[in-house]
């Protein structure tokens, strides 16, 4: 939705004693010389992890738009606290910036465009109209294809994504114009065609997060069990790592395959499956269609017992859900707290309270609430 900020580019981007922007090499560019029809104001900081992950995607999109001659420019509005952090961060950016020294202009722009979270990419036209506010979301998902940042273009891209899901195959998920293989941790290239006809788990993870590090060994055990009993199953790592050394270190401990480090498809699949949590294990059926958008909680909760519900189809998941409902209905306070000879709780001061003295059924809603709280913590 278009909204208007009073003022043209010069009045918006200039400072009290400044009529220019700067490049990372120190060159000054007069704001009046900007001839782009649309400008992206990029609020970001080196100290912000999501910013560091998004900036390379924005650089790639910007370079592609520049090579095509599209009328678009970016102005970096630094949110860094220290100038040396700004200098290092800005050195990797090919666009313009509000000088770090002009803190009053940086703060004014942040307030004017109601920037609450970073990274933030707000697209404005030459008259100061905000024409697109969700630049980070859609550049992250579609790259340069979202240009010229109009509702019509976004609608078209979303329709194409839905059509791609209807026509989905394993090749459409994992193959790119420059790569038709995945890799093993010893460097072998395995053609995606060799995975067709198998049930494939797409494992989205970031190592050195406690939830991911705890989940990987559990998945490993299930993977080996399924292999042992002859199930036609494979896992493909979709790593969201920032550093290649960390990617190599974590992948070396995994027995399955992976999409190469920093492959464009990793980000595309992250958005394609609309991930809500990490780790996520998407299950793709033998026909190339998605069977389940995330079975990580099932695998983590049941371990190798989860193989009884392989390949985690909707029908199998209904059995899991029914089992959970039955367990919730039978659950009592005593069943939760009593374990072997431990049949009491203690009050401050070591007073023992027998659990059986106040046996109370735990309602389904209470159970679900506890599970929800646990999952929120896990994510």
Same domain, 91 and 223: no
Judgement on whether residues 176 and 319 belong to the same structural domain of the protein: yes
199 and 124 within one domain: no
Asked if 82 contacts 104 with a C-beta cutoff of 8 angstroms, the reply is no
The answer to whether residue 45 is domain-embedded is yes
Model pTM score: 0.70
DSSP 166-183: HT--HHHHH-BTTB-EEE
Q: What is the pLDDT of residues 67-76, one digit of tens each?
A: 999 999 999 9
| Mean pLDDT confidence for 261-290 | 92
Q: In what order do the strands lie in the sheet with 189-191?
A: 189-191, 181-183, 257-258, 233-239, 199-205, 280-284, 290-292
**Tokens 């309602």, residue located:** 363
- Other beta carbons within 10 angstroms of residue 351's beta carbon come to 9
Selection from 342, 335, 343, 340 nearest residue 360 by Cα: 335
Q: How many domains does the chain have?
A: 2
The conformation of residue 363, written as its DSSP 8-state character, comes to P
List the CATH number of the domain containing 98.
3.40.30.10
Write down which residue in 139, 160, 181 finishes a domain.
160
pLDDT tens digit sequence for 91-138: 999 999 999 999 999 999 999 999 999 999 999 998 888 999 999 999
Model confidence at 181: pLDDT above 80: yes
Widest pairwise Cα distance in the chain = 81
Say yes or no: 190 and 149 in one domain: no
Q: Which domain holds residue 304?
A: 170-324
> Does residue 137 sit in the same domain as residue 29?
yes
Pick from 281, 299, 324: which residue ends a domain? 324
Residue 175 and residue 153 share a domain: no
Number of alpha carbons in the 13 Å side-chain half-sphere of residue 19: 3
**Above 80 in pLDDT, residue 325?**
no
Residue 346 domain flag = no
In this structure, the number of other CB atoms found within 10 A of the CB of residue 195 comes to 22
182 and 155 part of one domain: no
Cα(24)–Cα(1) distance, rounded to whole angstroms? 33
Say if 199 falls within a structural domain.
yes
Is the Cα torsion angle 141, 147, 148, 153 positive or negative in sign?
negative
Nearest to 44 by CA among 6, 9, 93: 93
pLDDT reading at 2 higher than 50 = no
The reply to whether 121 and 246 lie within a common domain is no
Inside any domain, residue 365: no
């Amino acid at each position: 939705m278009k909204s208007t900020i009073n003022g043209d580019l010069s009045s918006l981007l200039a400072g009290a004693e400044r009529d220019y922007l700067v490049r990372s090499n120190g060159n000054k560019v007069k704001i009046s010389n900007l001839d782009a029809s649309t400008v992206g104001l990029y609020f970001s900081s080196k100290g912000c992890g999501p910013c560091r992950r998004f900036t390379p995607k924005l650089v790639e999109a910007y370079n592609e738009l520049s090579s095509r001659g599209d009328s678009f420019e970016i102005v970096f509005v630094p949110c860094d606290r220290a100038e040396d952090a700004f200098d290092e961060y800005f050195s990797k950016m090919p666009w313009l910036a509000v000088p770090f020294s002009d803190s009053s202009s940086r703060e004014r722009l942040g307030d004017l465009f109601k920037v609450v979270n970073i990274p933030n990419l707000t697209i404005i036209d030459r008259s100061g109209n905000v024409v697109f506010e969700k630049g980070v979301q859609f550049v992250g998902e579609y790259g340069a294809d979202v240009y010229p940042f109009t509702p019509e273009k976004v609608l078209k891209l979303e329709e194409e994504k839905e059509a791609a899901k209807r026509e989905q195959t394993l090749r459409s998920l994992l193959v790119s114009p420059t790569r038709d293989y995945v890799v093993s941790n010893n460097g072998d290239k395995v053609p995606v065609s060799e995975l067709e006809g198998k049930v494939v788990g797409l494992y989205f993870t970031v190592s050195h997060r406690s939830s991911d590090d705890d989940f990987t060994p559990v998945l490993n055990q299930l993977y080996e069990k399924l292999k042992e009993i002859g199930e036609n199953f494979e896992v493909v790592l979709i790593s969201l790592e920032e550093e290649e050394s960390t990617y190599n270190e974590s992948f070396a401990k995994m027995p399955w395959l992976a999409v190469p480090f920093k492959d464009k498809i990793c980000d595309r699949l992250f958005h394609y499956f609309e991930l809500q949590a990490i780790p996520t294990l998407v299950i793709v059926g033998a026909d190339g269609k998605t069977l389940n958008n995330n079975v990580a909680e099932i695998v983590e909760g049941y371990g190798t017992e989860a193989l009884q519900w392989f390949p985690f189809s909707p029908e199998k998941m209904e059995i899991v859900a029914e089992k959970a409902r039955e367990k919730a209905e039978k659950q009592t306070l005593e069943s939760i707290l009593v374990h072997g000879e431990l049949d009491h709780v203690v009050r401050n001061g070591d007073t023992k309270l027998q659990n059986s003295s106040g046996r109370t059924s735990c309602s389904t809603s209470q159970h679900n609430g506890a599970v929800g709280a646990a999952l929120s913590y896990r994510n």
